[in-house]
Structure 1
C-alpha cells in the first residue's frame, strides 16, 4: 500500500490555515514552529504538490493547498468521531465533549451545567466556548466543536437538533418610565427610539421582534447592545424598555436595579432552547443525555 499522509501533519496544515501564522499555529498544536514547518514540508513532499507559497516575510495557500485543508478537516473530524465511537461503546457521558453556546444563554446556564455534570458524571470533561450562532455553526461543521447550545428556531442546515427547554421573554423597564404608560403596555404608546435591543447577529433580537410583533421599527433605538448586561444598564437609565429571557432574570441580572418585569403585550413571546450536533457523530447517546440534563436544569429554575 502506498504510504499515507500523517494525520499529525494534516493537523498542522489545518491549524496553519486557521491561524494564518506559523507561530500561533505551532502554539495551537503544542509543538515548536520548526516542527510544524517541517511537518508541512514533509506533507508536500509526500503528496507531490505545493500547498503553500512562501517568501521571507509571508505565505499564502495554493489552490491545491486550500482543497487539501478542506479534505483534511473532514478526515480529522472522521478520525475523532471514530475514536469517540470506540470509547463511547462501553460508557456514555465520558471523555471530552466540546460545547459551544451563544452569549445570551452561556452566562446563565453554563456554570450550573458544568457543576452539575462534574458531580454526576466525574469521567466527563466539558470544554465550553461562547460565540455567536453563525460562528458556532461554522465550528461545528469544521469539527472543532461537538455540540451546540442554541436558541431555536434557527437554520442549522443538516445538523441534528433536540429541543431541551422553553425560555419566555419578559418586557423590562424602569419604574419611572413605566409610570408614564398604561398597564398592560401598548406598543403604540411607547415613544420612538425607546426599545433597546441587541446587535443583529444576536439571535434574541430577531426572536424579540418577531415574537413581540413589533411592526413599527421607529420604536427601536438605533443603539444596539453587545450583551444583555448592557441592555440592562441602558433601560436602567429610565430611557426606555427592552426584552430579556427568563433565564437571565432568574439568574439575577436585574439585581441592584430599579427595573420592573412586565408581561409583553399580545401572545406570550418565547424562544426554544435546543442543542445541535453533526449527523455523522457517534456520540448521539451522550448528546441526548446532555440535552436531558440541560432540560432538567431549566425546569428546576
Structure 2
C-alpha cells in the first residue's frame, strides 16, 4: 500500500472520538475542530479504507459491523503510538516530557498543588497534565489510553491494571464540639448515634472507604442525605446537623480553617484509606511513575 492511501493518525483520532461520543458535534468539540472538518475527515477515511464505517441519514448515524472492527483496531493503533512516544521520551531520560495524571476530587486539591510545586523544583523538564474525576471515570480513561497515571484511594477494583500503595491517609472525626462531644471515645463503630454521620454521594469512593474503615456497615449510623463535596460537608457540619469523617490530608491542608469545627483522631489510628498509583502494565514510563510515587510518599507519608 502506498503512503497516500494510509489514513492519518488525526483521522483515526477523529473516528475514535466519534465512536466514544456517538455525536458529531460533541466529537468535534472534543477534537477542537469544526463539525464539518470532522465529518469530511471521516468521509476521507472511508475512501482511504475503501469501506463504509458509518451509515448516515439526515438525522442520525450508526457504525457498521466493519466500522466497529475498525474502531477496535484504531484503539490498538493509537495505544501503540502512545507507547512509542512514551518509550522515546524515556530514552532521553527519566522525569522528562509530559505525563497526564488523573486524581479523584477528595485527593486532587490537597495532593496535586504540593506535587506540582515539588516537581517544578526537582524535575523542571517534566510537565504534568491534570484531570480531576471520579474513580470510575478515571479508570475508563486509563484503560482507553487517554491518561497515563492515576492517584486513587484504595482499595478499588482495578482489574488487570498495576497498583502501588504509597501511604495511609487516616480518617478523622469532624464536627461542631457540641455535636461530637457525646460521641464514644473511639469515634467509630456501633456506639455512634444513629443517623449522625453525613457522607459524600455514592460516586465518591471516600464514602465506601469511610463506611468500611469506621465500622459503620449494617447499621443506621449514616444519614440518608449526602453531599457533593467535602466543602459542602463543612457547611453542613457548621449548622450542627451532624458529624462526618474527613481524610487527614484535607484537614492538614486547612479545609476547616476559619470555622468552629474540630477534628479528632479515631481509635488507634486504624481507620484509614490507602493512597496509591494505578497504571497500565504495558507502559514504557514505569521508572518515571515510580519516581513520582516516591515524591508523593516523601510529601505525605511523613505528615
Q: TM-score, normalised by structure 1?
A: 0.92
The 5 Å alignment of 1:161-180 reads 161-180=163-182
Residue aligning to 1:197:
199
Shift of 1:120: 1.8
Q: Are the counterparts in 2 of residues 212 and 265 from structure 1 also a CA contact under 8 Å?
A: no
Q: Are the counterparts in 2 of residues 74 and 142 from structure 1 also a CA contact under 8 Å?
A: no
Residue aligning to 1:268:
270
The 5 Å alignment of 1:92-107 reads 92-107=94-109
Please report the RMSD computed on the Cα atoms of aligned residues, expressed in angstroms: 2.0
Residue aligning to 1:152:
154
What stretches of structure 1 move > 6 A for 4+ residues in a row?
A: none
Q: In the alignment, is residue 61 of structure 1 matched against residue 53 of structure 2?
A: no
Q: Which secondary structure does the structure 2 equivalent of 1:149 belong to?
A: strand
Per the alignment, do residues 125 and 182 of structure 1 end up closer, same or farther by CA in structure 2, a change over 3 Å counting?
A: closer
Unaligned runs of 5+ in 2: none
Larger displacement relative to structure 2 (152-161 or 23-32): 23-32
Deviations along 1:51-88, whole A, 9 cap, x unmatched? Answer: 22222233222333233223212210111111220121
**Quick one: distance in 2 between partners of 1:153 and 1:178?**
28
**Quick one: distance in 1 between partners of 2:183 and 2:271?**
20
Residue aligning to 2:23:
21
Q: Are the counterparts in 1 of residues 185 and 267 from structure 2 also a CA contact under 8 Å?
A: no
Deviations along 1:123-169, whole A, 9 cap, x unmatched? Answer: 11111001111110000000110000001111111111112221011
Residue aligning to 1:237:
239
Q: Which secondary structure does the structure 1 equivalent of 2:223 belong to?
A: strand
Number of residues of Structure 1 aligned to a counterpart in Structure 2: 301
Per the alignment, do residues 186 and 155 of structure 1 end up closer, same or farther by CA in structure 2, a change over 3 Å counting?
A: closer
**Quick one: distance in 2 between partners of 1:211 and 1:201?**
18
Unaligned runs of 5+ in 1: none
Residue aligning to 1:217:
219
The 5 Å alignment of 1:8-157 reads 8-157=10-159
Q: TM-score, normalised by structure 2?
A: 0.92
